[in-house]
């Protein structure tokens, strides 16, 4: 739909870029797509403030949890040693007093053996070890075999047949673990003005040191305030915050897409401009080189380069940029050929302008319209190519970080189909971003070429 603010009189007074912007602004879908792109870009840039949990910080004892889950804020192993700084979570390091409410339940391993007659010949508690004449599984305990089978409540007596449901057909030896008694403990620590541990107590008894395992913590209080980590989008298999990983992973995907697209534009624009400007045999020779390169399986070459020279962001920038510049060169070459017969090019030649000046000052600026359109369509293509590499296990992240791009996160989600949010969250965000870039590219194309409007 045409912008009603653009009238025949105003078109003569506005620059081409101003007219293109007014046409783009009248395209509702293009403006909506532009808004989505800007929101995604700002969200990834502001990831440290929007998602305050470190994307590399793992909580393996909670594993993969659904969206909206929470747990006490603590490390896998917190150390409290009198006279030393506390080794605790970042949110607890400046507290004057810490309290950990712990709940432990240790498993006890057992072994039961039957003889050929089918009666129990041995009952052994593996810790010790200790041989028993009889053993009973109470209702408040839970026994699980080494094969993962939950065993029913029963009483085992030496010399008697085992109860039904304990031994499968053909087996004479059964190994299983029984949950022990639940023990609740409270560990408190106070710090002095220098941030050193001043005292440590376990259930009110002073001790020199205490080690707190994350899986045993039920509550953490710092100066009387309970500390919890809330995961809006849940966690992955390692207990890492999914929101933080998706936003930081978007940085990698968008950075690779933007830099690789810039590389392809620089190479493609210069190559295409030179080919179209030279014309004749030089043009045919340069375009023949493009045709030869088109025939090469570039994605396989990218995989080979990353396998031989190692994975790095700079190599990925160069490799993906080298894949995309061929089409850019063809587009620019066609535009240059159409411009070479124009009057302003002839005037530039008559004024004594050099070939490089004509290309830089006259030809390339007049090719920026189609190049801009193609750039907006190249970005989603590069994101897909990088995601394909990440899906093959060739993903690249920032040095010193375990953050993966959207493609790597999608791969991890596909490997854990019993947790659908691990796949749906990064896949949805990537799909929305790609759709927005494509719709924005179509809108820019229509804005720069009004003759295509309405087709």
Handedness of CA 304, 331, 15, 10 (dihedral sign): negative
CA distances in angstroms from 79 to 70, 93, 95, 414, 448, listed in the order given: 23, 12, 15, 37, 63
What pLDDT does residue 14 have? 61
Quote the percentage of the chain above a pLDDT of 90: 39
Range with the poorest average pLDDT among 54-68, 210-224, 359-373: 359-373
Q: What tokens appear for 282 in the block?
A: 């030089």
Same domain, 80 and 111: no
60 belongs to a structural domain: no
Cα–Cα distance between 179 and 138 in angstroms, integer?
11
Reply yes or no on whether the pLDDT at 363 is more than 50. yes
Would 3 be classed as within a structural domain?
no
Residue 442 to residue 275: CA distance in whole angstroms:
27
CA distances from 26 to 23, 295, 326 (A): 5, 41, 33
- Closest by CA to 236, choosing from 69, 431, 428, is 69
The reply to whether 435 and 339 lie within a common domain is yes
**pLDDT at residue number 454:** 47
Among candidate residues 205, 211, 200, the one with its CA nearest the CA of residue 77? 211
* 261-310 pLDDT per residue, tens: 998 899 999 999 999 999 889 999 999 998 888 887 777 777 777 777 77
Q: At what angle do helices 16-25 and 28-45 cross, to 10 degrees?
A: 90
Encode pLDDT of 122-161 as tens digits. 999 887 788 889 988 887 778 888 877 888 888 999 999 8
**Structural domain boundaries enclosing 112:** 107-179
Q: Which of 4, 6, 1, 51 is nearest to 29 (CA)?
A: 1
Return the structure tokens found at 255: 């950075």
Average model confidence (pLDDT) across the chain? 86
Identify whether residues 149 and 266 lie together within a single domain.
no
Residues 368, 438 share a domain:
yes
Determine the Cα–Cα distance for residues 206 and 312; give it in Å rounded to an integer: 51
Cβ atoms 224, 20 nearer than 8 A: no
- Neighbouring CB atoms inside 10 A of 319's CB total 23
Same domain (yes/no): 94, 163 = no
Is 313 within a domain? yes
The whole-angstrom separation of Cα 197 and Cα 190 is 6
430 neighbors 387 (Cβ within 8 angstroms): yes
**Beta strand segments in 193-312, E:** 197-202, 205-207, 209-213, 217-222, 225-226, 228-231
Residues 6+ apart with CB under 8 A from 123: 110, 111, 112, 131, 132, 133, 134, 135, 156, 158
Residues 294 and 431 in one domain: yes
Does residue 63 lie within any of the structural domains? no
Instruction: Indicate if 316 and 433 belong to the same structural domain.
Output: yes
Tell me the two tokens of residue 198: 């001043």
Domain count across the chain: 3
d(CA 453, CA 448): 10
Q: Is residue 248 located within the same domain as residue 295?
A: yes
Domain end, chosen from 159, 179, 199, is at 179
Q: Tell me if 184 sits within 8 A of 102, measured CB to CB.
A: yes
Separation CA 314–CA 417 (nearest Å) = 33
250 lies in the same domain as 264: yes
Question: Are 190 and 126 in a shared domain?
Answer: no
Q: d(Cα 401, Cα 252) in Å, to the nearest integer?
A: 11
Question: Domain with 24 in it: what CATH number?
Answer: 1.10.3720.10
Q: Of the candidates 164, 179, 194, which is a domain's last residue?
A: 179
* 159 shares its domain with 222: no
Q: What contacts 302, CB < 8 A, 6 or more positions away?
A: 319, 320, 323, 385, 389
Phi, psi of 102 (to 5 degrees): -110, 150
Same domain, yes or no: 445 and 300: yes
Could you identify the residue written with the tokens 């190249």? Answer: 378
Q: Is the dihedral of CA 365, 371, 376, 380 positive or negative?
A: negative
Question: Hunting for tokens 């700079």 — which residue is that?
Answer: 314
d(CA 260, CA 268) in angstroms, rounded, equals 12
CA–CA dist 169, 444 (Å, integer): 71
* Sequence-distant (≥ 6) Cβ neighbours of residue 265 within 8 angstroms: 325, 328, 371, 375, 378
Convert the pLDDT of each residue in 70-108 to its tens digit: 999 999 999 999 999 999 999 999 999 999 999 887 788
Q: Which residues pair with 189 in a beta bridge?
A: 98, 200
Instruction: List, for residues 248-273, the tens digit of each pLDDT value.
Output: 999 989 998 898 899 889 999 999 99
Last residue within a domain, chosen from 200, 226, 252: 226
Is there a domain that residue 65 lies in?
Answer: no
> What global pTM score does this model have?
0.78
Q: Phi and psi dihedrals of 373, rounded to 5?
A: -60, -45
Residues 374-396: what's their mean pLDDT? 84
Residue 372 lies in a domain: yes
Q: State the pLDDT at residue 248.
A: 93
CATH code, 193: 2.30.30
């Amino acid at each position: 739909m045409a912008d009603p603010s653009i009238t025949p009189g105003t078109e003569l007074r506005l620059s081409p870029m101003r007219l293109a912007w007014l046409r783009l602004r009248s395209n509702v879908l293009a403006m909506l797509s532009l808004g989505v792109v800007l929101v995604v870009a700002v969200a990834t840039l502001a990831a440290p403030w929007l998602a305050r949990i470190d994307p590399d910080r793992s909580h393996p004892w909670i594993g993969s949890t659904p969206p909206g889950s929470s747990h006490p804020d603590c490390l896998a192993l917190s150390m409290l040693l009198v006279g030393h700084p506390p080794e605790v979570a970042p949110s607890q390091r400046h507290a004057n007093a810490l309290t950990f409410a712990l709940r432990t339940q240790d498993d006890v391993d057992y072994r039961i053996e039957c003889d050929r007659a089918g009666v129990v010949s041995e009952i052994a508690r593996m810790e010790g070890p200790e041989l028993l004449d009889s053993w009973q599984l109470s209702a408040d305990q839970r026994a699980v075999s080494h094969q993962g089978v939950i065993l029913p409540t029963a009483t085992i007596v030496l010399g008697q047949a085992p109860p039904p449901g304990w031994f499968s057909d053909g087996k004479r030896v059964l190994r299983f673990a029984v949950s022990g008694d639940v023990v609740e403990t409270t560990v408190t620590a106070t710090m002095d003005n220098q941030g050193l541990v001043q005292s440590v107590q376990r259930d009110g008894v002073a001790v020199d040191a205490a080690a707190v395992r994350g899986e045993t913590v039920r509550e953490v209080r710092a100066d009387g305030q309970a500390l919890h980590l809330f995961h809006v989008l849940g966690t992955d298999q390692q207990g890492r915050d999914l929101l933080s990983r998706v936003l930081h992973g978007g940085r990698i995907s968008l950075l690779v897409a933007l830099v690789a697209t810039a590389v392809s534009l620089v190479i493609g624009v210069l190559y295409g401009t030179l080919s179209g400007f030279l014309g004749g045999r030089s043009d045919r020779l340069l375009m023949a080189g493009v045709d030869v390169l088109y025939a090469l399986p570039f994605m396989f070459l990218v995989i080979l380069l990353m396998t031989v020279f190692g994975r790095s962001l700079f190599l990925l920038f160069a490799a993906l940029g080298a894949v995309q510049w061929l089409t850019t060169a063809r587009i620019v070459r066609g535009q240059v050929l159409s411009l070479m017969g124009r009057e302003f090019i002839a005037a530039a030649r008559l004024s004594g302008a050099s070939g490089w000046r004509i290309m830089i000052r006259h030809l390339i600026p007049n090719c920026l319209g189609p190049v801009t359109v193609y750039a907006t369509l190249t970005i989603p293509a590069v994101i897909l190519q990088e995601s394909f590499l990440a899906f093959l296990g060739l993903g690249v992240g920032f040095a010193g970080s375990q953050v993966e791009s959207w493609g790597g996160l999608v791969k991890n989600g596909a490997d854990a189909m019993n947790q659908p949010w691990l796949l749906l969250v990064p896949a949805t965000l990537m799909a929305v971003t790609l759709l927005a870039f494509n719709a924005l590219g179509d809108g820019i194309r229509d804005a720069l070429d009004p003759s295509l409007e309405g087709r």
